[in-house]
């Protein structure tokens, strides 16, 4: 059976660091690459910079062979569930033998750390430290040190994700491959040299420094960024207007039923309704116990106007195809025969008819997320019904 390597990404937007990761993955493994990519809403709690169809097309044009959407039910959750959902999709493809991860410290023994953290003794201690108000990364560090006597550092987003990928890969035949992340840190806001973080690129775009972007993204990505009519200030204002409306209209109890709040966080969110902008609201709500990314994810969950159980999915229910090339087309033939999940390409009029509840809930969330992004960008709703996967011949 044909084999492939997997990459889990957001490409928000695709840049030279992503290109290097793709090229190195193919060079080391000699395999085509399947990318599991967040759709309309990002794991850090932000709407996608460009819509998923365009991001998937740019990824394929720059070396990815097949792009599959990570449903919003997983992309809009913490690193643990983001990783578990994406790895489940790779496993469901039944042809992925390697998961290639970018990491700040690829020499770390993420596999041993993952095995330790999932042991019964470690799990209980980790939960205790989380109840004490520690962040997940800090709780994991302290738990590992207390039980193993070794000091671990989990301070960077990609290292944390690498650990979560290894946890999700346990019991799987998929092996991890760690590739050094080059130059730019995940949260860097300045562009230097030929590789910059997606955060820095978005910052440059939002502040009007478009000329700085050309050196850090492929030429076709730069053209798309120059052509986009996205108005960052207007988008941010619209986003906060929608969020503040929801916060004002819902009681604290209703907020708790509409997103993944816990331990009274719904009261914290409710008080943010009087803030003047999204940045102020996030700053007011976040802290040692509640990271800013979690607050932003909860705000977006509220905007999707669903119940909290929609964000408690355990497994993806389908493989949503966004883009592929000729090699990806060959992979799709293998996946169609071997996959444990149905493939979604064109939706049709009633795509969830005859499907189970998980399928309906996940697809409903994805459609709502796409329409939310369209609203923020002043585009018509319904793009998921009108757009077909991109095929690069």
Q: What is the pTM of this model?
A: 0.94
Distance CA 144, CA 115 (A): 10
What pLDDT, on the 0 to 100 scale, is given for residue 82?
A: 96
Question: Strand, coil or helix: what is 113?
Answer: helix
pLDDT mean across residues, the chain: 92
What pLDDT, on the 0 to 100 scale, is given for residue 186?
A: 52
Q: Which two tokens stand for residue 260?
A: 């993944």
Binned at pLDDT 50, 70 and 90, residue 104 comes out as confident
Distance CA 172, CA 69 (A): 21
Contact (CB, 8 A) for 193 and 212:
no
Which residues, 6+ apart, have CB-to-CB distance to 206 below 8 Å?
Answer: 232
Distance CA 257, CA 19 (A): 41
pLDDT at 184 over 60: no
pLDDT at 97 over 90: yes
pLDDT at 189 over 80: no
Contact (CB, 8 A) for 13 and 217:
yes
Instruction: State the first-to-last Cα distance of the chain, in angstroms, to the nearest integer.
Output: 23
DSSP 289-324: SS-HHHHHHHHHHHHTT--GGGG--SS---EEEEEE
Mean predicted confidence (pLDDT) in 124-152: 82
Mean predicted confidence (pLDDT) in 119-126: 85
pLDDT, tens digit, 9 for 90 and up, residues 14-66 = 999 999 999 999 999 999 999 999 999 999 999 999 999 999 999 999 999 99
What pLDDT, on the 0 to 100 scale, is given for residue 151?
A: 74
pLDDT at 149 over 90: no
What pLDDT, on the 0 to 100 scale, is given for residue 311?
A: 94
What pLDDT, on the 0 to 100 scale, is given for residue 118?
A: 86
Distance CA 259, CA 306 (A): 8
pLDDT, tens digit, 9 for 90 and up, residues 227-268 = 987 788 899 999 999 999 999 999 999 999 999 988 789 999
What pLDDT, on the 0 to 100 scale, is given for residue 185?
A: 57
């Amino acid at each position: 059976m044909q084999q492939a390597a997997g990459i889990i990404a957001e490409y928000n937007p695709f840049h030279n660091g992503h290109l290097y990761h793709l090229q190195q993955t193919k060079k080391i493994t000699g395999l085509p690459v399947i990318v599991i990519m967040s759709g309309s809403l990002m794991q850090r709690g932000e709407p996608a910079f460009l819509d998923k169809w365009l991001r998937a097309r740019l990824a394929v044009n720059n070396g990815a062979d097949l792009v599959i959407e990570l449903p919003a039910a997983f992309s809009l959750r913490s690193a643990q569930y983001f990783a578990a959902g994406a790895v489940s999709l790779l496993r469901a493809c039944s042809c992925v033998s390697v998961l290639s991860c970018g990491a700040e410290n690829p020499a770390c023994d993420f596999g041993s750390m993952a095995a330790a953290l999932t042991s019964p003794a470690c799990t209980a201690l980790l939960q205790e430290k989380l109840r004490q108000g520690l962040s997940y990364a800090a709780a994991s560090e302290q738990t590992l040190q207390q039980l193993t006597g070794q000091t671990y550092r989990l301070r960077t987003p990609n290292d944390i994700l690498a650990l979560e990928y290894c946890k999700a890969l346990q019991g799987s035949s998929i092996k991890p491959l760690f590739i050094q992340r080059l130059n730019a840190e995940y949260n860097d806001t300045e562009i230097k040299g030929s590789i910059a973080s997606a955060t820095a690129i978005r910052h440059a775009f939002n502040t009007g420094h478009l000329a700085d972007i050309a050196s850090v993204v492929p030429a076709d990505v730069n053209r798309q960024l120059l052509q986009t009519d996205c108005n960052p200030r207007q988008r941010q204002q619209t986003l906060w207007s929608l969020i503040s409306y929801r916060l004002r209209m819902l009681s604290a109890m209703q907020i708790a039923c509409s997103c993944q709040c816990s331990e009274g966080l719904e009261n914290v969110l409710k008080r943010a309704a009087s803030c003047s902008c999204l940045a102020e609201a996030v700053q007011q709500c976040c802290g040692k116990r509640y990271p800013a990314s979690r607050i932003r994810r909860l705000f977006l969950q509220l905007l999707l106007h669903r119940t909290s159980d929609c964000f408690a999915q355990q497994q993806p229910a389908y493989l949503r195809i966004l883009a592929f090339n000729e090699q990806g087309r060959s992979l799709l033939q293998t996946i169609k025969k071997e996959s444990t999940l149905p493939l979604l390409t064109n939706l049709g009029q009633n795509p969830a008819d005859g499907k189970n509840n998980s399928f309906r809930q996940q697809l409903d969330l994805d459609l709502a997320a796409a329409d939310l992004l369209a609203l923020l960008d002043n585009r018509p709703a319904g793009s998921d019904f009108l757009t077909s996967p991109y095929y690069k011949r």
